[in-house]
C-alpha cells in the first residue's frame, strides 16, 4: 500500500477499517474533471506568480491534461483504494512527473480544493437541472395552448369548487416551476460569487498567490473574503438542496393529481402504455408507478436537505470531517431530481387528456353556484343575501336530484324577481369560465396572456 500524502507525523499505518471509513472516493470520484480544472488554474497561477518556475507550471498542466484525457477515454481507471479523488489525481501526477508533480500542492490544501471542486461540480448540475425544468415548462405550455377551452373542476379541500380550464390548471404548475428556475439561477449566482481556492487549510498562505487570477480563471466573480469561511461554507449545498426539495415538492403535487386523474373515479387522463405498469395478478390494472415513485423520492430529497442542515448545525470553524457527508447528500438530491424530471417530462408529453370526462365532472357538484350568487349581486342584491338564497337553492336541488341549470324559471322567480331568462346563460359552465376575466383567471384570453408571459420568461432563462 502506498504511503499517505500526509504521512510524516505518523509512525505507523492507519487501520484498514479506518481507511475504509475515511474514504470518500466512491462518491467524490465524479468530480475528477472539476478537480483537474481547479488544479490547472492553480498551477497556472503558481507559474505566473513565480512561486514555481514557469516551465514547471507548464509541465504540471500538461500532465494534468494527460490525466484528464486518459480518464475521459477510459485509458486510466480511478483507483478506488485511494482516499479521495484529490489524492488519486495528485498521486497519478507524481507517478507521471516524479518530484515535479509534488509541487502542485504548494500553497493549497485539500480543504480549499474540495470546497472549490464541489462548487464547480454543482454549478454544472444546476445548469442541467435548469434546462430540464425549462423543458418541462415548455411541455406544460404547449399542452395548455391546446386546452384553453377545456372546462374542468377547480377544487378546494378536494371538493368541487368553481369552473376553470385545464389550461389554467397547467399554467399554475408552470408558475411554480418558473419560480424553481429563478431559485436555481439565484443559487448558481451566489455559488459562483466567491472562489474558496487560496484559502488553504483555513488561514491562507505565506506565499504571494493571486487569488483574483484563479477566481476569474474558474468563472467566479472573485475570491471569498474570509479564508475561514472559504473552507467551511456549505451554504450553497443547503441552498441548492432547498431549491431541489421545492422542485420535487411541485413534481409530487402534480404527481398526486395525475394519480387521481388516471383513476377510474376521475378518468380525466390516460397515461401512455410506455409510462405505466401492470399487476402481476390483476390483468386489468394500469398503474401510475412513475408518479407514485416521484412522491416517494420527494421524501428522499427532503431527507438529503435535512442531512445537510443537521451536518452543519453544530460545527465550529473551520473545516471538520463531518463536511465529507455533504457530497453524498447533495449528489443524491441532484441525481434523483434529474431522474424524476427526465421521467416525468415524456410521461406528460404522451399523456392523453379526456376532455369530455372533465366537462361531465364539472357539470356535477354545483360549481356554478358562486356564479348564480354573483348574478343576483350584479342586479342589486347584497352578496350575503345572494349567497344565502343560492345556498338554499342548492340544498333544494340536491333533494330533488337536479342541477341549477335544471331549475324551471318560475321556481327561480318564486325566490326573487331579479331572476330572468339570462340566469341560464350566467350559470352555463362554459360561460362561467369565459367570464372569469380578472387578471390571472381561467378565461381563455387571460390564460393566453399567462402563456405569453411565461414564454417570455423562459426565453430570458434560455438566454
Active-site positions read 157, 279
H-helix or E-strand containing 161?
strand 159-165
Phi, psi at residue 342, to the nearest 5°?
-65, -25
Give helix 110-146 / helix 85-97 axis angle, nearest 10°.
Answer: 120
In the three-class reduction of DSSP (H, G, I as helix; E, B as strand; rest coil), residue 353 is classed as: strand
H-helix or E-strand containing 337?
helix 325-349
Tell me the C-alpha distance between 108 and 86, whole Å.
Answer: 12
Phi, psi at residue 165, to the nearest 5°?
-115, 160
| Residue indicated by cell numbers 340566469 | 423
C-alpha distance from residue 231 to each of 36, 113, 125, 235, 319 (Å): 19, 9, 21, 11, 6
Tell me the C-alpha distance between 163 and 153, whole Å.
Answer: 5
List Cβ neighbours of 124 (8 Å cut-off, separation of 6 or more). Answer: 34
Q: What Rg value do the Cα atoms of the chain yield, rounded?
A: 31
Amino acid at each position: 500500500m502506498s504511503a499517505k500524502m500526509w504521512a510524516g507525523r505518523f509512525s505507523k499505518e492507519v487501520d484498514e477499517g479506518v481507511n475504509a471509513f475515511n474514504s470518500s472516493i466512491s462518491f467524490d470520484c465524479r468530480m475528477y474533471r472539476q478537480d483537474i480544472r481547479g488544479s490547472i488554474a492553480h498551477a497556472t497561477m503558481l507559474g505566473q506568480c513565480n512561486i514555481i518556475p514557469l516551465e514547471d507550471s507548464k509541465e504540471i498542466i500538461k500532465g494534468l491534461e494527460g490525466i484528464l484525457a486518459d480518464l475521459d477515454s477510459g485509458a486510466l481507471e480511478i483507483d478506488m483504494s485511494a482516499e479521495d479523488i484529490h489524492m488519486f489525481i495528485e498521486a497519478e501526477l507524481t507517478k507521471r512527473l516524479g518530484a515535479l508533480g509534488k509541487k502542485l500542492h504548494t500553497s493549497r490544501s485539500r480543504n480549499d480544493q474540495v470546497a472549490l471542486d464541489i462548487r464547480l461540480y454543482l454549478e454544472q448540475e444546476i445548469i442541467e437541472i435548469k434546462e430540464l425544468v425549462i423543458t418541462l415548462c415548455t411541455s406544460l405550455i404547449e399542452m395548455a395552448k391546446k386546452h384553453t377551452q377545456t372546462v374542468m373542476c377547480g377544487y378546494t379541500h378536494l371538493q368541487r369548487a368553481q369552473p376553470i380550464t385545464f389550461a389554467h390548471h397547467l399554467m399554475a404548475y408552470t408558475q411554480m416551476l418558473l419560480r424553481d428556475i429563478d431559485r436555481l439561477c439565484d443559487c448558481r449566482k451566489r455559488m459562483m460569487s466567491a472562489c474558496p481556492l487560496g484559502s488553504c487549510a483555513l488561514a491562507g498562505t505565506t506565499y504571494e498567490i493571486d487569488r483574483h487570477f484563479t477566481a476569474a480563471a474558474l468563472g467566479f466573480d472573485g475570491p471569498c473574503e474570509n479564508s475561514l469561511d472559504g473552507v467551511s461554507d456549505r451554504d450553497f449545498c443547503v441552498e441548492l438542496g432547498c431549491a431541489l426539495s421545492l422542485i420535487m415538492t411541485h413534481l409530487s403535487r402534480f404527481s398526486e393529481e395525475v394519480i387521481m386523474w388516471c383513476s377510474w373515479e376521475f378518468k380525466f387522463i390516460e397515461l401512455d402504455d410506455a409510462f405505466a405498469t401492470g399487476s402481476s395478478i390483476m390483468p386489468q390494472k394500469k398503474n401510475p408507478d412513475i408518479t407514485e415513485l416521484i412522491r416517494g423520492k420527494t421524501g428522499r430529497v427532503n431527507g438529503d436537505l435535512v442531512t445537510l442542515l443537521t451536518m452543519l448545525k453544530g460545527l465550529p470553524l473551520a473545516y471538520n470531517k463531518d463536511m465529507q457527508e455533504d457530497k453524498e447528500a447533495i449528489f443524491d438530491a441532484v441525481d434523483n431530481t434529474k431522474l424524476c424530471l427526465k421521467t416525468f417530462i415524456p410521461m406528460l408529453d404522451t399523456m392523453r387528456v379526456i376532455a369530455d370526462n372533465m366537462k361531465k365532472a364539472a357539470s356535477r357538484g354545483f360549481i356554478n353556484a358562486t356564479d348564480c350568487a354573483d348574478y343576483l349581486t350584479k342586479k342589486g342584491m347584497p352578496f350575503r343575501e345572494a349567497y344565502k338564497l343560492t345556498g338554499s337553492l342548492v340544498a333544494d336541488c340536491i333533494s330533488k336530484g337536479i342541477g341549477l341549470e335544471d331549475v324551471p324559471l318560475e321556481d327561480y322567480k318564486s325566490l326573487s324577481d331579479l331572476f330572468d331568462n339570462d340566469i341560464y346563460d350566467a350559470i352555463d359552465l362554459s360561460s362561467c369560465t369565459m367570464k372569469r376575466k380578472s387578471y390571472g383567471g381561467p378565461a381563455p384570453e387571460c390564460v393566453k396572456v399567462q402563456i405569453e408571459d411565461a414564454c417570455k420568461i423562459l426565453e430570458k432563462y434560455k438566454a
